[in-house]
């Protein structure tokens, strides 16, 4: 019997910064629809792993495959296209464009893929509504609460129906109640589009939203378990 190939897989990933070995050989397989929490102490290599999986950083050795296609055999132009078409991102501080209203922040990734302005605006409006932000389409990020802004970032990550959503400390700037709500919406929305989710966090309660967790220490995966 053959098992389904992993949607995203990494083999023997190594990444150095000068004298620092940030990743010392990481293997990882993410099945269709799986959600993974990446935990571990500060400086252990979590963000570096996310950036290598996401094609933002090029590893010094090893490979990353998305649906069987090598992510790092590509040149930067092709990698940037792959990031836009196949990946969604949520970072700690949203990284929304401050001068654009919420609806335009969400529509932008779709526009960049060639979706018409009308369709992108419709999609963005629907995503904002499904994340509890109906009526807030016209607000700029500075006119939203931290939790609302992070929900706009979730909408922006999902508007292109990505294969994988990457979130680095998505609740790091939020209080517990808002963090809980953002994780509930992020995991629900990710599941709804059939995407995989990779969440870097040091927070047990955030990790509990994911089906599986790994612990990274000194650039290696030292523990791995399924969440009950
Ligand atoms: P984490 O996200 O787990 O806190 P990182 O992946 O950010 O850890 O960092 C892992 C190690 O690599 C740390 O020692 C960090 O200082 C180093 N590092 C990360 N990014 C860079 C960089 N751009 N330049 C130099 N060193 C870096
Ligand atoms: Mg980090």
Asked if residue 45 has its Cβ within 6 Å of ligand 1, the reply is yes
φ/ψ (deg, to 5) at 144: -115, 155
Q: For residues 56 and 50, what is the distance between their CA atoms, to the nearest angstrom? A: 8
Pocket test for ligand 1, best of 15, 19, 43 (most atoms within 8 A of CB): 43
Judge whether residue 2 has pLDDT over 60: no
pLDDT of residue 127: 97
ipTM above 0.90, yes or no: yes
> How many helices (H) and strands (E) are present in the chain, helices listed first?
7, 10
For 106-121, what is the mean pLDDT?
Answer: 96
Residues 6+ apart with CB under 8 A from 77: none
Residues β-bridged to residue 212:
36, 226
pLDDT tens digits for range 144-174:
999 999 999 999 999 999 999 999 999 998 9
Whose Cα sits closest to atom 21 in ligand 1?
Answer: 17
Q: How far apart are CA 123 and CA 159, in angstroms?
A: 7
Mean pLDDT value across the chain: 94
The CATH number given to 8-221 is: 3.40.50.300
pLDDT > 90: what percent of the chain?
85
Structural tokens at position 26: 């990481």
For the entire predicted model, the pTM comes to 0.95
pLDDT at site 109: 95
Q: What are the structure tokens assigned to 160, written together?
A: 């292109």
> Quick one: pLDDT at residue 76?
87
pLDDT: is 213 or 91 the higher one? 213
CA 194 to CA 33: how far, in whole Å? Answer: 6
Sign of the CA dihedral with 146 first, then 190, 44, and 53 last: negative
| 115 within ligand 1 shell (Cβ under 6 A) | no
Q: Residue 186 is inside which H or E element, if any?
A: helix 176-192
Q: How far is the CA of 20 from the centre of ligand 1 (A)?
A: 8
35, pLDDT greater than 60 = yes
Query: b/e for 32-63, b at 16 or more Cβ within 10 A?
Result: eebbbbbbbeeebbbbbbbbbbbbbbebeebe
Q: Who contacts 96 (Cβ-Cβ below 8 Å, separation ≥6)?
A: 102, 105, 141, 149, 152, 153, 156
Task: Write the pLDDT tens digit of every residue in 172-201.
Answer: 989 999 999 999 999 999 999 999 999 999
State the DSSP H helix or E strand holding residue 156, giving kind and residue range, or none if neither.
Answer: helix 146-158
Q: Give nearest CA residue, ligand 1 atom 25.
A: 17
């Amino acid at each position: 019997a053959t098992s389904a190939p992993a949607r995203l897989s990494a083999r023997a990933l190594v990444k150095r910064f000068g004298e620092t070995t940030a990743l010392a050989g990481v293997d990882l397989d993410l099945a269709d629809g799986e959600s993974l929490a990446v935990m571990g102490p500060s400086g252990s290599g979590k963000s570096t792993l996310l950036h290598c999986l996401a094609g933002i950083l090029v590893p010094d050795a090893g490979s990353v495959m998305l649906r069987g296609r090598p992510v790092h055999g590509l040149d930067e132009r092709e990698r940037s296209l792959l990031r836009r078409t196949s990946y969604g991102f949520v970072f700690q501080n949203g990284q929304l464009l401050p001068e654009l209203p919420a609806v335009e922040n969400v529509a932008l990734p779709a526009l960049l893929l060639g979706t018409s302005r009308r369709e992108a605006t419709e999609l963005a409006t629907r995503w904002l509504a499904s994340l509890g932000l109906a009526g807030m389409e016209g607000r700029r990020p500075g006119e939203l609460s931290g939790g609302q802004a992070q929900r706009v970032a979730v909408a922006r990550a999902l508007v292109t129906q990505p294969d994988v959503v990457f979130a680095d400390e998505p609740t790091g700037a939020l209080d517990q109640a808002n963090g809980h709500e953002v994780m509930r919406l992020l995991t629900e929305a990710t599941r709804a589009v059939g995407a995989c989710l990779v969440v870097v966090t040091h927070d047990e309660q955030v990790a509990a939203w994911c089906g599986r967790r790994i612990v990274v220490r000194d650039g290696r995966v030292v523990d791995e378990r399924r969440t009950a």
